[in-house]
Structure 1
Amino acid sequence: MNDPWGISGPDFVVLYIALLGVVLLVRLIVSGVMAGRAMRADDGRPVPPPTVYQLAFLAGGPDRAVDAAVAALVDRGQLRVNSYKQVSQAGARPSEPLEQAVYDVAQLKTTATIRAYVRRSAVMKALETGLDQQGLLVSAAAKRQSRTIGLVLQLAVLAFGLVRLVNGISLGRPVGVLVFLVLIAAVLAIVAAVRRSKTGARQPSAAGHRVLGQARSAASGPVPAGMLAGGVLLGGAAAAVALGGWSMYPDEELSAALTPPASFGGGGSSGGSSCSSGSSCSSSSSCSSGSSCGSSCGGGGCGG
């Protein structure tokens, strides 16, 4: 037999395409299995009462935690919002770590810009670590393990194709189609490597969903504002934003001013209106009613 490895070019192409498909399928299966394991079975053990910012992280990730801190500071008058939707310092520096990080950044910055700074901060990392240690977040190690397995499989298929390609070129065989398939395998390997390098947003585990559900149930029940339910202060603007986002902020005008644009991540777009008596407004002094702060195989040898 003159065919390399006893496999003709066309047969190898079919085999290689099948391998590419099988690896993609295996990656999906492994990812699903690992995701289920990463959720961590909820054994129902009690966890320490979560803070409002831990609840915000569980409900919407780092950005929601930042939003809740902004809401708390605006509500207490320690931050104010001007007519250009920029947040600036207005009162004493808070003592809570996340609130301090937000306060220090808030120097004529939009909510989107504050998010971008604080989500990378040490205090946000500490908040995430605390939730992780309590088993309230999906295991990052399990997700990384599944992506590592996918990357190894993808690199193995790429190496298999490259060896066949080099062998075919050394024997003077036409390898055009195989070159194309190897390029596809290389792109898939690069994508797998990039996915492995990115941690992505942390999601609540089964226990995290339980804690979050309990807090939402308590917040929607007959609990007076400011009362403790399940160890969480349910009253106030911070809790409303933590569990429901800016749409739940009690002041509609401030909610519109503090909500980042849906299509743009950061930047300070100016509003077209101004407050009735100056350039700033807070929860205690809102704007007037009319404004808002607001690929052909030929000759039987295409596979080398």
Structure 2
Amino acid sequence: MNMLAPLVTLVIAASSLLLVARTVHVVRATPRPKRRKATAYELWEIAFLAGGPARVADAAIAGMHQDGRLAVGGPGVVSVRQAVAYDPVETAVLDSLARTPDGALDTLRRHVMRAPAVQAVGDRLAKRGLMRNPRAGRPWRRYAAWQSGICAAGFVLVLLFTLTGAITGANGETPFVVQVLPAALLGIVTGAVCRKVLSRRVTRAGVSAVRTFRTAHKADLVSDATQSAALLVALGSTALLVDDVLRDHLTEVQHSMAGAGASAAPYSGSSSTTSTGSSNASCGWNVPDDSSDTAWCGSSCGGSGSGSGCGSSSCGGGSSCGGGSSCGSSGSSCSSSSSSCGGGGCGGS
């Protein structure tokens, strides 16, 4: 046992050093964006940063419902009143509705979230350094998870063997379990911290962009009928909607999709003023390791708002921070934030 403990310590220390070095490399490899004014950001970009594809879908549906182009009635059925779209995201809403014969709001929402036009918003944000591509650092996220797991399991086994007498030390020698305790703690903590850092999708610049945009439109966040429903949802949540029917339907869909994706993984969004939540309970800024190479949103999201999916259970949007992994469309990103998106924290880089 005299040489085994130092050997274990050396291996774990080397592994932790490698993991930290690669984590720093991934973070520094993210493009550094230029400082921009609030007017330089599109509404859909801010919605994506604040709540991922789900937030974009909710904002687009709310905006088109407000001006009469869409109608939403019970039980959560959407219909077209005017087939007019003013940008690619709204076109995606109409195209998705055309592929939803029964007009079900939950189905429409998933289709919109997975639409190339919506996913492309995340791609643009990643190229500008406001988000981090989900593929970046994926092998090291797995490595970090394995390191934490192996160190924890190994220490528990050594402890059990020590307690049962299977491992004994010489007289006067420090017990083996005590000798490897510092190394085990180092491996567990380093793995957990690095995995958390590598799972963040929204960079500090992205958080700052949401804060700047929200400050510039602070007066517009007053919940009254004169304000843009799309803006209210993008910067806040569907809870701010004045239309009771639409608000209730969207909230119900968010919760149902969050429940369906509860077993999947989480999206760290940009908001820090409220909890990260179930709104993206199936689409996380925190990227599951099995996420698709071509998509940002996935099968699970952390957050506290509405849940949902870029697939059957992923990428929810709503009122919180979260993210996930696999969507079936062109690559992009998923994030979620809480009902107020100006804070500084859910997804710093």
TM-score of the superposed pair, with normalisation by structure 2: 0.48
Aligned 8 A contact 1:56 1:243 in 2:
yes
Deviation at 1:212, TM superposition (A): 1.1
Instruction: Please tell me the residue identity of whatever aligns with 1:202.
Output: R
What is aligned with 2:267? none
**Whose RCO is larger (CA < 8 A, sep 6+)?**
1
Aligned partner of 1:130 in structure 2 is 124
Residues 84, 217 of structure 1: CA spacing in aligned structure 2 closer, same or farther, 3 A cutoff?
A: same
1:82 is matched with which residue: 64, 67, 73? Answer: 73
Q: 1:66 and 2:57 equivalent?
A: yes
1:236 aligns to what? 228
The whole-number CA distance in structure 1 between the counterparts of 2:7 and 2:213 is 52
Give the superposition deviation at 1:70.
Answer: 0.8
Query: Quick one: which amino acid aligns to residue 35 of structure 2?
Result: G
SS at match of 1:81: strand
Whether 1:256 aligns to 2:256 is: no
* Counterpart mapping for 1:74-113 below 5 A: 74-106=65-97, 107=100, 108-113=102-107
Structure index of larger Rg: 1
Q: Give the drift of 1:28.
A: 6.2
Is structure 2 residue 203 aligned with structure 1 residue 209? no
The offset of 1:220, in angstroms, is 1.7
Contact 2:50 2:234 in 1 (8 A): yes
CA shift for structure 1 position 142 = 4.8
**1:54 corresponds to which residue?**
45
C-alpha distance in 2 between matches for 1:73 and 1:95: 10
- Counterpart-to-counterpart distance in 1, 2:51 and 2:108: 16
Q: Structure 1 stretches of 5 or more lacking a match?
A: 1-9, 158-191, 226-233, 268-304
Find the residue that maps to 2:259 and give its secondary structure: coil
Between the aligned partners of 1:60 and 1:98, the Cα distance in structure 2 is 15
- TM-aligned CA deviation for residue 114 of structure 1: 2.7
Which residue of 2 is the match for residue 119 of structure 1? Answer: 113
Paired residues of 2:38 and 2:213 also in contact (CA < 8 A):
no
Letter in 2 for 1:212: V
Q: Secondary structure at the match of 2:79?
A: strand
1:56 Cα shift?
A: 0.3
User: What amino acid is aligned across from residue 98 of structure 1 in structure 2?
Assistant: V
Identity rate, percent: 29
Q: Give the deviation of 1:66 after TM superposition.
A: 1.0
The C-alpha deviation readout for 1:70-107, integer Å capped at 9, x for no partner, is 11111122221121113232322313111111122223
Aligned length, in residue pairs: 209
Offset at residue 217 of structure 1 (A): 1.2
Residue 185 of structure 1 corresponds to none
Shift of 1:52: 1.1
1:228 paired residue number:
none
Per-residue deviation, residues 186-240 of structure 1 (Å, max 9, x unmatched) = xxxxxx9xxx9xx97732x222222211221122237999xxxxxxxx9400000
User: Residues 34 and 143 of structure 1 are in contact (CA less than 8 Å); yes or no, is this contact kept in structure 2?
Assistant: no
User: Displacement of 1:69 after TM fit?
Assistant: 0.7
Aligned with 2:93: secondary structure? Answer: helix
Q: Distance in 2 between matches of 1:134 and 1:16?
A: 44
Q: Distance in 2 between matches of 1:119 and 1:68?
A: 11
Which stretch of the first structure deviates more once superposed, 216-225 or 101-110? 216-225
Give secondary structure in 2 for the equivalent of 1:221. Answer: helix
User: Which runs of no fewer than 5 residues in structure 2 stay unpaired?
Assistant: 151-190, 262-307, 310-349
Name the aligned partner's letter for residue 254 of structure 1: L
The aligned residue for residue 167 of structure 1 is none
Distance 1:240 1:223 in 2: 6
Amino acid at match of 1:128: G
